[in-house]
Amino acid sequence: MLTNSPLSAQKLQKSQGAVRDTNTFRHFLKTGKFYGHARSYWSATLNQKHLTDYHAWAVGAGIGYQTPKFFQRFQLGISSFFIFNLASSDLASPDPATSMVNRYEIGLFDIERPNNHQDLSRLEELYVKAHLGKKSILTIGRQIPETPFINPQDGRMSRTLTEGAVLDIQECQHLKLHGEYLWRISPRSTMRWFGVGESIGMYPVGIGPAGTSSQYKGQTDADFIAVFSATYRKKNWEIQAWDTYVDNVLNTFFVKTEWRFQAKGETNWLASAQFTMQNTAGNGGNPDASIAYAQPGSGSVVISTRVGQESTRFDWHLNATHIGSGGRYLMPREWGKEPFYTFMPRERNDGFGDLTAATVNTRFKPGKHIELTLSGGYFHLPDVRNFQLNKYGMPGYSQVNLGLTYQFDQYLKGLSAFLLVVRKDKLGRIYGNDRYVFNKVNMVHANFILNYRF
């Protein structure tokens, strides 16, 4: 008769213990996913000689965790991020010549407390995710938005986040359906969570159609945002249709069609077009039209097109956008960047009507780790005194963006460095008023960003 040796018994006991350990809560948590992000962001703006220049340096880090599936279909997620102001100009002090405050560097921190150099932290994600089918997911709670008009706009230290219920359905091979019901927003460059109406006006509000300062901040009545979309993909075609309804404020319908054709080698040709139609919903946010975000009965139409060629090493795109003269295109800047093809980082087309823009984008990848981008744009805007169609007193301008990205490898894998230099020059009239120049045109803006993700 064979008996187990003490060594064999010990190995068996350890093996049984390992099996039992897989049924513990501790083992369950260990099989989840941890992820993190650290960031250093230096920014500087050089205005015309007699106007104020600014600089700022921010650092921050965050960590997140997502559980594995439990009960075969559910997951939980949580993440947070903190920011420190290492050095900066006095971001709350207005420029003496114009009485206007900083525009870009203030966004690295908390726009409600621009000179707070202490710990700035925010709980970013807190959600439960339910897997309803092979590729269908319902997510409820705080999460990162990804829609044409509500998105992270991750060009500062803290991104835009939303709280709500988001449903993705993709049970068919070529069709994807998407729906959202949002009730709270934490805009980029803020540390708090706001109701939908409350979040509108956290950024500068511009000029109303009557030529006086807009008064809709804190006066906008909107309880929710509803988003619906359908995306169809087959062979060389993709068609997207989106509808974004802001309770009592706006309804924006957006459709995009894209065609791609693979030529010889790894080169792809593409042609794409977008159509946006926007109308005021309800009373535009307030029964008093003088303090409403959108004017009752108003609306706008936007057409944007693109043609280009893409390959592994080199891309080029020719883009054009036109906003009709029937009214201002509006979308709260607090919520995201616009999807139009002529969008260039550090400027927006929100608040304009009768706009025509043309841009050229290029991307060159000379090596495995380096990528260069060069973009140029011409933006014809209504006269700065045309308050009906020019909300922010922005003259027509030209813009050139130069970007350099380096992706580290091996021991520093996950680390990237990005340098962006922006030059903007006025094309339209300013009537000798520097308020139409300061932080808008005749300026250079530079960013140097280090990102480490794990």
* Each residue's pLDDT tens digit, 154-204: 889 999 999 999 999 999 999 999 999 999 999 999 999 999 999 999 999
Q: 161-169 and 137-143: which strand pairing?
A: antiparallel
Query: Rounded distance, CA 442 to CA 440, Å?
Result: 7
Provide the pLDDT for residue 116: 83
Q: How many H-runs (helices) and E-runs (strands) does the chain carry?
A: 3, 19
Where in the chain are the domains? Answer: 33-453
Provide the pLDDT for residue 7: 53
Poorest-pLDDT segment among 12-26, 46-60, 226-240: 12-26
* Whether the Cβ atoms of residue 229 and residue 254 lie closer than 8 Å to each other: no
Is residue 119 exposed (0-12), middle (13-18) or buried (19+ Cβ within 10 Å)?
A: exposed
Average pLDDT for the chain: 94
Query: Rounded distance, CA 101 to CA 94, Å?
Result: 4
* Whether the Cβ atoms of residue 272 and residue 304 lie closer than 8 Å to each other: no
For residue 105, the 8-state DSSP code is G
- Tokens standing for residue 452: 């480490």
Provide the pLDDT for residue 1: 44
Poorest-pLDDT segment among 138-142, 151-155, 303-307, 357-361: 151-155
- Please give the average per-residue pLDDT across 99-121, as a whole number: 91
* Whether the Cβ atoms of residue 166 and residue 175 lie closer than 8 Å to each other: no
Does 437 score more than 90 pLDDT? yes
Does 341 score more than 50 pLDDT? yes
Q: How far is CA 248 from CA 179, 295, 307, in A?
A: 19, 11, 37
CA-closest candidate to residue 161, choices 127, 138, 130:
127
Query: Rounded distance, CA 412 to CA 416, Å?
Result: 9
Does 5 score more than 80 pLDDT? no
Please give the single-letter amino acid code of residue 428: G
Cα torsion for 144, 149, 154, 156, to the nearest 10°?
-120
Three-class secondary structure of residue 257 per DSSP: strand
Percent of the chain whose pLDDT exceeds 70: 95
The helix (H) or strand (E) run that includes residue 7 is helix 6-21
Please give the single-letter amino acid code of residue 12: L
* Whether the Cβ atoms of residue 278 and residue 299 lie closer than 8 Å to each other: yes
Give the model confidence (pLDDT) of 262-317 as tens digits: 777 788 999 999 999 999 999 999 999 999 999 999 999 999 999 999 999 999 99
Task: Kindly give the residue spans of alpha helices, DSSP state H, lying in 169-239.
Answer: 196-199
Does 21 score more than 80 pLDDT? no
- Please give the average per-residue pLDDT across 42-58, as a whole number: 97
Provide the pLDDT for residue 265: 74
- Tokens standing for residue 11: 């190995």
With vertex at residue 114, the alpha carbon angle to CA 111 and CA 118, rounded to the nearest 5 degrees, is 115
For domain 33-453, give its CATH number from 2.40.480.10, 2.60.120.620, 2.40.160.10, 3.40.980.10.
2.40.160.10
Give the model confidence (pLDDT) of 60-71 as tens digits: 999 999 999 999
Query: Rounded distance, CA 9 to CA 4, Å?
Result: 6
- Tokens standing for residue 92: 């709350």
Given pLDDT bands bounded at 50, 70 and 90, which one contains residue 427?
very high
Q: How far is CA 80 from CA 20, 35, 38, 174, 193, in A?
A: 33, 11, 12, 35, 13
Given pLDDT bands bounded at 50, 70 and 90, which one contains residue 133?
confident
- Tokens standing for residue 242: 């989106």
Does 17 score more than 60 pLDDT? no
Provide the pLDDT for residue 450: 98
CA-closest candidate to residue 442, choices 107, 101, 43, 46:
46
Does 79 score more than 70 pLDDT? yes
- Please give the average per-residue pLDDT across 138-150, as a whole number: 97
